[in-house]
């Protein structure tokens, strides 16, 4: 790898715990954490704010060209406030988690032009050494050369329950059935789209978190990462790479 750092890719369906785990691992290892879903959410926020039709690929593409998206890590240890995301300088970290964004984001994320534009931004962000990047197509399209790839899974019911609880705790007045519908619909669009669908890369390690605690999953992942680091160290010592 050109920067001699470690690149970790995490992919998986909606509400599977990628963000929680991604942040925990990045914090533990002192790595940079990049949530690519937040980028798609940020674009969706701007599209909806400007009343643009979510199917109007050309207009959205122009909007993406004229949008600056920046991510800044905070100093806090609080995982819910781990980083802030800005659209043209405006902090939208809270707004992009609104169920209204969930309702629309996958329609925009399925547009090939938009994905192609965002590949550049995502790869640029990943140029730094030692990163954890999560999304839907990280191991398959954005960083196919990632050192370690994980594909997260959990039962649909558990994922819906997790996201419902999360939204209720944040104070949203939303029904379980609405959350269920949004997650099922998002997964369907994300997996069925032609360009860069949600897919498990051939060399991705499957992590099923159904019925498992956050600590259990974290320990398992850290073990895999540490094993890889030892292996890499030996390779370097033996001049293999």
Site for ligand CDP, rule CB under 6 A: 14-15, 18-19, 36-37, 40-41, 105-106, 109, 135-137, 186, 190
Task: Compare residues 6 and 141 and give the one whose CB is closer to ligand CDP.
Answer: 141
Task: Compare residues 185 and 229 and give the one whose CB is closer to ligand CDP.
Answer: 185
Q: Least distance from C-beta 6 to ligand CDP, angstroms? A: 20
Task: Compare residues 149 and 186 and give the one whose CB is closer to ligand CDP.
Answer: 186
Q: Least distance from C-beta 35 to ligand CDP, angstroms? A: 7
Q: Least distance from C-beta 65 to ligand CDP, angstroms? A: 19
Task: Compare residues 6 and 111 and give the one whose CB is closer to ligand CDP.
Answer: 111
* Four-residue CA torsion sign, 233, 25, 192, 112: negative
What single DSSP character describes residue 231?
Answer: H
What 3-state DSSP class applies to 116? helix
Which residues, in sequence order, are CB contacts of 238 under 8 Å at separation 6+? none
Task: Compare residues 57 and 232 and give the one whose CB is closer to ligand CDP.
Answer: 57
96 in Cβ contact with 45 (< 8 Å): yes
* Four-residue CA torsion sign, 34, 200, 13, 20: negative
What single DSSP character describes residue 140?
Answer: I
List strand residue ranges (DSSP E) for the chain, in order.
7-11, 32-35, 69-73, 83-87, 90-91, 131-135, 148-153, 205-208
Task: Compare residues 83 and 229 and give the one whose CB is closer to ligand CDP.
Answer: 83
Q: Which residues lie across from 28 on neighbouring strands?
A: none
What 3-state DSSP class applies to 182? helix
Q: Least distance from C-beta 232 to ligand CDP, angstroms? A: 26
Q: Least distance from C-beta 223 to ligand CDP, angstroms? A: 24
Q: Least distance from C-beta 11 to ligand CDP, angstroms? A: 7
* Four-residue CA torsion sign, 204, 205, 206, 208: negative
φ/ψ of residue 173, rounded to 5: -95, 85
């Amino acid at each position: 790898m050109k920067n001699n750092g470690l690149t970790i890719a995490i992919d998986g369906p909606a509400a599977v715990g990628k963000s929680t785990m991604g942040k925990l691992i990045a914090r533990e290892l002192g790595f940079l954490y990049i949530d690519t879903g937040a980028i798609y959410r940020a674009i969706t926020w701007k599209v909806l704010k400007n009343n643009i039709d979510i199917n109007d690929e050309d207009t959205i593409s122009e909007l993406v060209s004229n949008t600056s998206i920046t991510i800044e890590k905070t100093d806090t240890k609080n995982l819910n406030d781990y980083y802030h995301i800005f659209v043209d300088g405006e902090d939208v970290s809270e707004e992009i988690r609104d169920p209204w964004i969930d309702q629309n984001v996958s329609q925009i994320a399925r547009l090939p032009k938009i994905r192609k534009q965002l590949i550049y931004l995502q790869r640029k962000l990943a140029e730094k050494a030692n990163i954890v990047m999560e999304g839907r197509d990280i191991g398959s399209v954005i960083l196919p050369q990632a050192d370690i790839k994980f594909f997260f899974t959990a039962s649909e019911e558990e994922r819906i329950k997790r996201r419902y609880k999360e939204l209720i705790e944040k104070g949203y007045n939303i029904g379980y059935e609405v959350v269920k519908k949004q997650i099922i619909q998002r997964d369907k669009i994300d997996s069925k789209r032609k360009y860069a669908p949600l897919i498990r890369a051939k060399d991705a390690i499957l992590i099923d978190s159904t019925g498992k605690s956050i600590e259990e999953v974290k320990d398992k992942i850290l073990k895999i990462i540490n094993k890889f680091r030892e292996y890499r160290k030996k390779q370097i010592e033996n001049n293999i790479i």
